[in-house]
Amino acid sequence: MSKIKLPADDNSCGWFETLPQSLKPQQRSAVARGKIKADWLVIGGGFVGMAATRRLAELHPQAHIVLLDAQHIGEGTSGRNSGFIIDLPHKGDLVGKDIERKQKFISLNRAAIDYLQTQVERDQIDCNWSHSGKLQGAVSDRGIRFLDHFQVLLKELGEPFEVLDSAALQKKVGTSYYRQALFTPGCVLMQPAALMRGVKENLPDNVTVYENTPVLELEQRQERWLARTKDAEFSAPKVILGTNIFTEQLGHLKHRMIPIMTFASMTRPLNDAEFTAYAAETDWGLTPADYAGTTLRMTADRRLIVRNQYRFVPNYSSSYQERSEISVMHRNALKARYPMLENVEFDYTWGGVCALSQNYTSYFGERKPGLFISCCHNGVGAARGTISGKLLAEMASGGDSDLQRFMVEVSGKPSRLPPQPALGLGVRTRIKVAEWVSRSEV
Ligand SMILES: Cc1cc2nc3c(=O)[nH]c(=O)nc-3n(C[C@H](O)[C@H](O)[C@H](O)COP(=O)(O)OP(=O)(O)OC[C@H]3O[C@@H](n4cnc5c(N)ncnc54)[C@H](O)[C@@H]3O)c2cc1C
């Protein structure tokens, strides 16, 4: 069997480590051995794979559906993000004059929120699901210019928003570091590892989930797709890949996705004295006005989370040394915003790998007969990954809908990338430039 690169995430993700007891992985889980025939195979249990599996189970209650993941569900990037399910088009998707296209993005994102919310409510998933909305905060003139532009776009789209000045922000987020923020109400915040594990725990009985079961080879033989793991060979007529950046390792969309890691740190819960000094609200989230700035969250249980920094990661992983250095940068970002909390330690610092494309395009569709893929959501996969997984399951089942057509229209093919070392050099330079121009927002 050829050797492929597999997920190698660190085991210091705060969301996974602080899972409620009921959602922690149990010792006993399905073990894969021998030849296993299924009606449907889903590989990768992140936002895409979980939504695809759930939808297949709804559409085909009599079918045997198998979901394979290389790690525990919730351990991959979908369980280690900042937990914003964003309804409005984000960054690159806002560029351009085509209002109808942007409205399609909004419909898709809101359908994702609805789909997840139905599951969270029905199955009572303990993932701190919260309609908190989202702040987009600016520190510098450059940041304010981004917010001014964002306001124009929101008005064009007829979307409600509120402008908060520094004093209003001080009351809400406990710091006067930001000069201004735009609040948009549609974003949902959640605990991502808990959401992923909660969805997994409540999958219908016709689904078998094999965790810690990496697929080492995927091939089509006659009318079936074969997925080989260390001790088993799974086969099914149709397969859905929700493996994002790892899709290229399974032989598809090679040299089209840029592996980028971004990092987060989570403090311990503030004690009462610290919370009194902080003197503001819990359960909010703030994304940066500028691309390379800092994302900030305060959880309902009084933990602060800082996310920034990007690294080009051709091996899809980061070292302990790298994370330690980044933890210091996170500490500086926290201290700049909350000097009174400078003694509050981080309990966890972790990274997660995302797939970006040069032409800011994601992939959605039937790549080969019976092989369906959705990937490369350019770092905002909570909403797009979820809805694309659901719609991919519908497409693979012969369904058709307006949303499915929207998804096809807004997707494309990530453009081909230059080979290494040119790719690494180019991406690292782009990251450095972005960090430099956004330095006041970090
Ligand atoms: C720190 C951080 C903050 C972020 N914040 C946000 C945010 O707030 N909102 C947002 O929308 N997005 C955010 N993102 C991005 C978002 O998390 C990703 O876009 C999203 O998780 C992608 O989902 P996915 O299902 O496509 O892929 P993934 O989550 O990468 O899932 C792929 C799955 O495939 C499995 N896999 C891979 N190879 C194999 C194999 N060979 N065999 C079996 N299984 C395999 C992996 O284990 C993994 O579980 C953030 C990312 C990071 C790192």
Ligand 1 center–CA 244 separation, angstroms: 7
Ligand 1 center–CA 77 separation, angstroms: 3
Ligand 1 center–CA 32 separation, angstroms: 23
Q: Examine the pLDDT at 295 and tell me if it is beyond 80.
A: yes
Amino acid sitting at position 331: R
Give the pLDDT band of residue 62 (cuts 50, 70, 90): very high
Ligand 1 center–CA 42 separation, angstroms: 15
- Cβ 12 under 6 angstroms from ligand 1: no
- Give the separation between CA 361 and CA 264, rounded to whole angstroms: 25
Cα dist. 279→33, 162, 370 in Å?
A: 55, 22, 55
Query: What local confidence, expressed as pLDDT, does residue 1 receive?
Result: 63
- Cβ 244 under 6 angstroms from ligand 1: yes
- Cβ 186 under 6 angstroms from ligand 1: no
Give 414-440 pLDDT, tens digit per residue: 999 999 999 999 999 999 998 888 887
Backbone phi, psi, residue 265, to 5°: -130, 145
Q: What CATH number matches the domain at 14-80+193-255+359-411, 3.50.50.60, 3.90.1170.50, 3.20.20.370, 3.40.50.720?
A: 3.50.50.60
The ligand 1 atom at the shortest distance from the C-alpha of residue 287 is 8
Query: What local confidence, expressed as pLDDT, does residue 2 receive?
Result: 63
- Cβ 262 under 6 angstroms from ligand 1: yes
Find the helix or strand (DSSP H, E) in which 122 lies: helix 99-122
The ligand 1 atom at the shortest distance from the C-alpha of residue 227 is 42
Give 10-49 pLDDT, tens digit per residue: 999 999 999 999 999 986 677 889 999 999 999 999 999 9
* Beta strand residue intervals within 230-380, DSSP E: 232-236, 238-241, 258-267, 284-288, 295-298, 304-312, 346-356, 363-368, 371-375
Contact (Cβ atoms closer than 8 angstroms) between residue 161 and residue 154: yes
The reported pTM is 0.97
Cα dist. 291→64, 119, 122 in Å?
A: 43, 32, 36
User: Whole-number mean pLDDT of the chain?
Assistant: 95
Residue with CA at minimum distance from ligand 1 atom 12: 380
Q: What is the mean pLDDT of the segment spanning 115-121?
A: 98
Give 120-156 pLDDT, tens digit per residue: 999 999 999 999 999 999 999 999 999 999 999 999 9
The best mutation among 43, 55, 67, 78 to test binding of ligand 1, ranked by most ligand atoms within 8 Å of the C-beta, falls on 78
Ligand 1 center–CA 339 separation, angstroms: 33
Backbone phi, psi, residue 354, to 5°: -120, 165
Residue with CA at minimum distance from ligand 1 atom 15: 379
Find the helix or strand (DSSP H, E) in which 68 lies: strand 65-68
- Cβ 381 under 6 angstroms from ligand 1: yes
Neighbours of 276 (CB within 10 A): 10
- Give the separation between CA 65 and CA 30, rounded to whole angstroms: 13
Specify the DSSP class assigned to residue 419. P
Cα dist. 346→50, 86, 160, 285, 333 in Å?
A: 30, 26, 35, 18, 12
Query: What local confidence, expressed as pLDDT, does residue 347 receive?
Result: 98
Ligand 1 center–CA 177 separation, angstroms: 31
Find the helix or strand (DSSP H, E) in which 108 lies: helix 99-122
Q: What is the mean pLDDT of the segment spanning 88-105?
A: 83
